Structure 1
Amino acid sequence: MAQPLPILSLFAALGLGACVLGTTPEPVPTGAEDFADFCAGCHGLSGKGAGELAGTLARRPADLTLLARRNGGTFPTTQVMAKIWGYTGGKGSDVMPNFGPLLDSELVPYDGGDGIMTPTPVRLVQIAEHLKSIQIR
């Protein structure tokens, strides 16, 4: 009669494995969704700098639809991602908050325009790609 315990343990382990395998990871928000959640309050959904909070800030938020035009027609991907993540600007001297901790996610290889594939948080890549898509040519 000592055999039922190992068999019961096997079924319990299989059941637990099925529960773990059956779980799906939380979906990653799109770049447009993250932009709406984190950026549109200041920059507006259109990215033109006319969000609900724009009038309350010491400086008007940048018109994000003109980034490529202001950079000779090339979208400055690496600089934009650095700004969003919080790598640029001195502490306290910039109105733009640091979004790095909010966008921490799975790393994907991404070329920000310098020819180097760099492990980059997928949510940061998606926001940069969203911003590229709203550029006025």
Structure 2
Amino acid sequence: MVRISMALLALAAGCNPQPDDPVSGRALYDGYCVKCHGERGLGDGPMAAELPIAVADLSMLRESNGGVFPYEAVMTQIYGYPGRYHQGLMPEFGPVLEGQQIDWVSPSGQVVSTPRALVELVDYLEHLQQ
């Protein structure tokens, strides 16, 4: 298991947007995701070739989920499980995305208090779908 610190990721990304600032999902994506996932989410970012495993193609999430964008699964993957790193290289972004909370309604109808920055980022990822 490889761990990437959030400081290293922010340094590699070249910017560090603050989730409490009024920032769009695109700004968060550009700040934290582009270096690995690429401009269009294809997994072809400038750091992708340097990583020991293939970077996920984020543009096909809806297609690979029967035509439905998997909001909850994507939020879980990005947010991570506090205190535990993912099995792969992607770090957990929960601590970075903490800030203002909003009510997000899950597909099952449950209202969940969720970081606004996480919702905005996942909304942007839905926009990247082919």
User: TM bucket by the smaller chain?
Assistant: 0.7 to 0.9
Does 1:75 pair with 2:69? yes
Matched, 1:39 2:57: no
Kindly report which structure 2 residues correspond to 1:1-137, keeping only aligned pairs within 5 A, or say none.
27-87=21-81, 91=85, 93-136=87-130
SS in 2 for 1:120: strand
Any idea what the Cα deviations from partners look like across 1:6-61, whole Å, max 9, x if unmatched?
xxxxxxxxxxxxxxxxxxxx632110000000011100111110001000111111
Q: 2:86 & 2:99 partners in 1: Cα distance?
A: 26
State the identity %: 34
Q: CA RMSD in A?
A: 1.7
Count, aligned residues: 110
Secondary structure of 2:45's match? coil
Report SS of the residue matched to 1:50: coil
Q: Any idea what SS the aligned residue of 2:73 has?
A: helix
The structure number with the bigger radius of gyration is 1
Q: Would you tell me which structure has more helix in proportion to its own residues?
A: 1
Partner of 1:51: helix, strand, or coil? coil
Give the TM-score normalised by the residue count of structure 2.
0.79
Residue 12 of structure 1 corresponds to none
In structure 2, what residue type is equivalent to 1:133? H
How far apart are 1:93 and its partner, in Å? 2.7
Residue type of the alignment partner of 1:102: V
Unaligned runs of 5+ in 2: 1-19
Distance 1:98 1:117 in 2: 23
Q: Which amino acid aligns with 1:93?
A: Q
**SS class of match (1:109):** strand
How much does 1:92 deviate? 6.1
